[in-house]
Amino acid sequence: MKVFFDERQLGHAPTHYFRRGAAMPHQEQPQRAEILRDMLIGEGFKITKPQDHGLAPIKAVHNPDYVDFLPDAHARFVESAGPDALAIPTMHPGVRRGKEPKDIHGQLGWWMTDTSTPLTEGSWDAAYWSAQTAIETAQTVAAGARAAYALCRPPGHHAMRDCSNGFCFFNNACIAAEHLTQTYKKVALIDIDVHTGNGSLDILYERGDIFFCSLHPDPATYPTFYLGHADETGEGDGAGKSLNLLLEQGASQDDVLALLDKGIAAIRDFGAEALVVSLGFDMAADDPLAAVNVYPDGFAEMARRLAALNLPTALIQEGGYLGPSLADNAKSFLTTFREATA
Which sequence positions are flagged as catalytic? Answer: 158
Distance CA 205, CA 184 (A): 19
Backbone angles phi, psi at 88, to 5 degrees: -130, 160
Q: Report the first-to-last Cα separation within the chain, whole angstroms.
A: 7
Residue 342, Cβ density class (10 Å: 0-12 exposed, 13-18 middle, ≥19 buried) = exposed
The torsion angle over the Cα atoms of residues 21, 195, 4 and 115, rounded to 10 degrees, is -20
Neighbours of 45 (CB within 10 A): 19
